[in-house]
A and B are shown apart, each in its own frame.
Chain A
Amino acid sequence: MARDLLTDFELMILLAILRLGDQAYGVPIAREIETTGRRSVILGAVYTALERLERNSLVSSRMGNPSPERGGRAKRFFDVTPQGLKAVKDTQRSLVALWKGVAQLKGGTV
């Protein structure tokens, strides 16, 4: 059975894809995580996580056309599947439930 909840990196990737819409490929996904998540990202690790998510049917991918600024290499665009969206919602629900009632976290963000 597949895991029900996502890891933090998988969650960030899925949220980045949802934010980017139909322009979600490796570079913007990594940039989105770097800017909003404030962490440096290894592109190879992003692809490894994306392939794992695709194996679990949480994302789907399609190939784009090769372009000269990429050395003639094609882009691979990613979309979140309905199962992926459900996994994001389930993870959000669990995290929010954990957040509630923690005294140390009251009074805004640190």
Chain B
Amino acid sequence: MTAPKPPRLAEALLGRLALDNEPLAGDIIEEFRRRNSRFWLWRQLIAALVVQALYAPHPPVALNLTPTDPVVAEWLMWRRLTSDRKTQVSLTGSGVEGIGGLTMVILGFMMSTVIPAIWWFVVGGIGAGVLLGVVKLRARRVAYPNTERLLKL
């Protein structure tokens, strides 16, 4: 009798899980082959991915600016290469060069006059961002219970 094989999607997700926790992925495969239950496999796999995403210890970083796309990478590289220029202090309230406070005001005015309904998306986006931040912070506090105390010192 051949051992049951997990579905392709589950295999791909197990491969992703194995990058963070190889023994857990191996345990799920081993137990799936014994039980031969797809329901059990999906339940364990989804729970493992959620638990891994929320509670896996990620070292706390002050600002996680990762050049995930070429445009951002190029911009960061340009900043690094042109480091001999005088240090500029942004007085516009924006950390992104080229987009200052006035641009934001104009953008807000145009959005309000042309498509006011878009503000719901903006507010929704801000709300979702804050909610995601709170969830991530809570997960990080659980993973690193002493971090807050250390930061106070």
Interface on A for B, CB 8 Å cutoff? 25-27, 30, 42-45, 47-48, 51, 55, 63, 66-67, 69-71, 73-76
Beyond A43-B48, A44-B52, whether A70 also contacts B24 by CB under 8 A is: no
* Other-chain contact of B22, A42, A43, A51, A73 (Cβ < 8 Å): A73
* Other-chain contact of B26, A44, A45, A48, A71 (Cβ < 8 Å): A71
The residues of B that contact A48 with a CB separation of less than 8 Å are: 51, 55
Contact status B57-A51, CB under 8 Å: yes
Interchain CA distance A26-B44 in the complex, whole Å:
13
* Other-chain contact of A27, B31, B48, B52 (Cβ < 8 Å): B31
> Could you give, for residues 88-126 of chain B, a 1 whenever the CB lies within 8 Å of some chain A CB and a 0 otherwise?
000000000000000000000000000000000000000
Residue in A closest to B46 when the chains form the complex, CB atoms: A44
Contact status B23-A44, CB under 8 Å: no
The residues of A that contact B43 with a CB separation of less than 8 Å are: 42
The residues of A that contact B55 with a CB separation of less than 8 Å are: 48
Beyond A27-B31, A44-B51, whether A70 also contacts B26 by CB under 8 A is: yes
What's the least CB distance linking A102 to chain B, in Å? 32
> Could you give, for residues 15-34 of chain B, a 1 whenever the CB lies within 8 Å of some chain A CB and a 0 otherwise?
00010011111111111010
Interchain CA distance A42-B51 in the complex, whole Å:
10
* Other-chain contact of A44, B3, B18, B44, B57 (Cβ < 8 Å): B44
* Other-chain contact of A47, B24, B29, B50 (Cβ < 8 Å): B24
Contact status B3-A73, CB under 8 Å: no
Is the C-beta of B131 less than 8 angstroms from some C-beta in chain A? no
Beyond A27-B30, A71-B29, whether A45 also contacts B21 by CB under 8 A is: no
Interchain CA distance A59-B48 in the complex, whole Å:
21
Interchain CA distance A69-B49 in the complex, whole Å:
21
What's the least CB distance linking B1 to chain A, in Å? 13
The residues of B that contact A55 with a CB separation of less than 8 Å are: 57
What's the least CB distance linking B53 to chain A, in Å? 10
Residue in B closest to A71 when the chains form the complex, CB atoms: B29
What's the least CB distance linking B119 to chain A, in Å? 40
Contact status A45-B29, CB under 8 Å: no
* Other-chain contact of A73, B25, B49, B52 (Cβ < 8 Å): B25
Interchain CA distance A47-B23 in the complex, whole Å:
9
The residues of B that contact A75 with a CB separation of less than 8 Å are: 23, 26-27
Interchain CA distance A46-B57 in the complex, whole Å:
15
